[in-house]
């Protein structure tokens, strides 16, 4: 009895000694890059960035933290700043970049933009997000399209569908046909993020780009509490009817698997689904799985751009490294490699997409058309259209609607109210 207890205490004293002896870790020459690309191909692509920076003599600490579209990563970013450990860059996107610009902590990377001629090579719509008060403070990494409909060719053939749907009525008719054959018509549903991601193209299809911007960018109460919104919500409900309830709580990757393996006909999802299809051994746009712009939105493009903001460094070496990092992130070599893995397309319009799959090539072509015709809209579900609180209000409202018997009218009214409250929080 006596011995183990004494030994434990002796160990405790040793523990104290070990603590005291441990030297503090401090590596001033390296830049930390906070991101949420923690696994699989995304993580591999990030590590390519690390290698490319190393070749230029800059040590990058890849601070990758998983979880809920960056919730964890944002927590880390905030605690790092509280610690006084300013990171080199952090994965922050959309309108939130302006909020960070406001803190006065961001670095000016105009030099990198000049070297890479971002003004010319990157579309203005994307550039605008990267600037705070006229200066570049962030760099884009990719360009995702939201309004895609993925489908399994064999399932469609079995249901007697010859071509993928081109408008809403065709989509609903096709869903019914698939259901009649006893297969899953639409793989989807689930958490707020997934519901909002599905609603994104539905809303655009229902109201068109102008109305979409009024609602999700301008947060115009009249546009939100409108018959158009009611109609869009009714359509979300229609889609829900063709989505097995039991898929809720699954991940979108799982849904993609159902389409790839011929258990489900359709999935509404952004082009990051490309990566999952490739992983499952089917090339989108190939013989098994096809992609088509979400019905009724062939000339429109809902975009999502992942980007990194840069923090002001104390040392000259740090500042120089920051510029190099911004340059490398937007270099043709890195962007081509990174976006191929991610299923998206490069932000640079001056590089040719060799080795990209047919869906990605289509994405580039439709981006250019949509850009010319002012049919580009920023995705609300991916935090591109407005600040966190109103985005949260939209997602909460859709969640509430999707998971209850709330009427579309009541939901539109509740959404308007929630967004008004959220607006006042800015």
- Of 246, 61, 265, the closest CA to residue 158 belongs to 265
- Asked if 255 interacts with other proteins (CB under 8 A), we say no
Interface map 303-342 toward other proteins (x if CB under 8 A):
---------------------------------------x
Q: Considering CB under 8 A, how many residues would be counted as binding other proteins? A: 93
Q: How far apart are CA 397 and CA 192, in angstroms?
A: 9
Query: What angle do helix axes 388-402 and 408-423 make, rounded to 10 degrees?
Result: 160
- Asked if 300 interacts with other proteins (CB under 8 A), we say no
* Closest separation in Å from C-beta 315 to other proteins: 17
* Closest separation in Å from C-beta 261 to other proteins: 6
Q: How far apart are CA 412 and CA 401, in angstroms?
A: 9
Query: Binding other proteins by CB under 8 A: which of 31, 46, 109, 155?
Result: 46
- Asked if 4 interacts with other proteins (CB under 8 A), we say yes
- Of 146, 145, 147, 151, the closest CA to residue 260 belongs to 151
Cβ atoms of residues 53 and 334 within 8 Å: no
Cβ atoms of residues 171 and 286 within 8 Å: no
- Asked if 301 interacts with other proteins (CB under 8 A), we say no
Residue 363 CB neighbour total at 10 angstroms: 27
- Asked if 185 interacts with other proteins (CB under 8 A), we say no
69 vs 358, which CB is nearer to other proteins? 69
Query: Binding other proteins by CB under 8 A: which of 51, 82, 222, 314?
Result: 82
171 vs 232, which CB is nearer to other proteins? 232
Strand 289-293 with 301-304, pairing: unpaired
331 vs 397, which CB is nearer to other proteins? 397
Q: How far apart are CA 302 and CA 300, in angstroms?
A: 7
Cβ atoms of residues 271 and 201 within 8 Å: no
Cβ atoms of residues 137 and 131 within 8 Å: yes
Altogether, the residues listed in the chain come to a count of 426
Cβ atoms of residues 150 and 307 within 8 Å: no
Three-state DSSP state, 298: coil
In the DSSP assignment, the letter for residue 246 is G
208 vs 392, which CB is nearer to other proteins? 392
Residues 353-412 that bind other proteins (CB under 8 A): 387-389, 392, 396, 399-400, 402-404
Name the one range near other proteins by CB under 8 A: 76-84, 201-209, 234-242, 316-324: 76-84
Q: How far apart are CA 274 and CA 362, in angstroms?
A: 13
Query: Binding other proteins by CB under 8 A: which of 31, 52, 58, 63?
Result: 63
Name the one range near other proteins by CB under 8 A: 73-81, 110-118, 218-226, 290-298: 73-81
Q: How far apart are CA 423 and CA 215, in angstroms?
A: 13
- Asked if 28 interacts with other proteins (CB under 8 A), we say no
* Closest separation in Å from C-beta 163 to other proteins: 28
- Asked if 55 interacts with other proteins (CB under 8 A), we say no
Residues 224-253 that bind other proteins (CB under 8 A): 245-251, 253
- Asked if 160 interacts with other proteins (CB under 8 A), we say no
Q: How far apart are CA 197 and CA 303, in angstroms?
A: 12
Query: Binding other proteins by CB under 8 A: which of 31, 53, 58, 70?
Result: 70
Query: Binding other proteins by CB under 8 A: which of 29, 56, 85, 166?
Result: 85
- Asked if 153 interacts with other proteins (CB under 8 A), we say no
* Closest separation in Å from C-beta 307 to other proteins: 15
Residue 346 exposure: Cα atoms within 13 Å on the Cβ side: 22
46 vs 113, which CB is nearer to other proteins? 46
């Amino acid at each position: 009895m006596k011995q183990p207890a004494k030994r434990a205490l002796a160990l405790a004293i040793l523990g104290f000694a070990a603590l005291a002896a441990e030297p503090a870790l401090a590596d001033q020459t390296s830049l930390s890059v906070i991101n949420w690309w923690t696994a699989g191909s995304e993580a591999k692509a990030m590590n390519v960035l690390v290698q490319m920076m190393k070749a230029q003599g800059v040590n990058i600490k890849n601070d990758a933290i998983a979880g809920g579209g960056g919730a964890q990563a944002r927590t880390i970013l905030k605690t790092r700043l509280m610690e006084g450990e300013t990171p080199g860059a952090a994965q922050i996107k959309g309108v939130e970049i302006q909020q960070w610009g406001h803190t006065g902590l961001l670095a000016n990377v105009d030099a990198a933009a000049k070297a890479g001629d971002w003004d010319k090579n990157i579309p203005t719509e994307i550039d605008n997000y990267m600037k705070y008060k006229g200066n570049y403070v962030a760099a884009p990494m990719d360009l995702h399209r939201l309004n895609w409909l993925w489908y399994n060719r064999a399932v469609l053939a079995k249901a007697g569908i010859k071509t993928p749907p081109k408008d809403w009525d065709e989509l609903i008719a096709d869903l019914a046909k698939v259901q009649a054959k006893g297969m899953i018509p639409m793989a989807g549903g689930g958490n707020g993020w997934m519901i909002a991601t599905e609603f994104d193209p539905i809303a655009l299809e229902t109201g068109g780009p102008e109305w979409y911007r009024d609602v999700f960018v301008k947060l115009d109460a009249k546009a939100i509490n409108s018959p158009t919104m009611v109609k869009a919500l009714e359509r979300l409900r229609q889609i829900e009817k063709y989505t097995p309830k039991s898929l809720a709580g699954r991940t979108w990757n799982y849904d993609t698997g159902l389409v790839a393996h011929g258990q489900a006909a359709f999935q509404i999802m952004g082009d990051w689904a490309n990566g999952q299809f490739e992983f499952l051994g089917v090339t989108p746009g190939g013989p098994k799985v096809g992609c088509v712009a979400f019905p009724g939105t062939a000339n429109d493009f809902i975009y999502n751009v992942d980007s990194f903001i840069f923090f002001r460094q104390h040392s000259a070496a740090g500042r120089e490294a920051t510029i190099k990092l911004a340059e490398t992130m937007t270099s043709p070599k890195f962007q081509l490699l990174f976006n191929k893995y991610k299923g998206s397309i490069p932000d640079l319009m001056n590089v040719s997409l060799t080795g990209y799959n047919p869906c990605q090539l289509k994405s580039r072509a439709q981006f250019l058309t949509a850009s010319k015709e002012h049919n580009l809209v920023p995705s609300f579900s991916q935090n591109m259209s407005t600040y966190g609180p109103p985005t949260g209000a939209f997602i909460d409202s859709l969640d509430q609607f999707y998971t209850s018997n709330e009427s579309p009218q009541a939901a539109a009214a509740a959404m308007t109210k929630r967004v008004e409250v959220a607006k006042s929080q800015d």
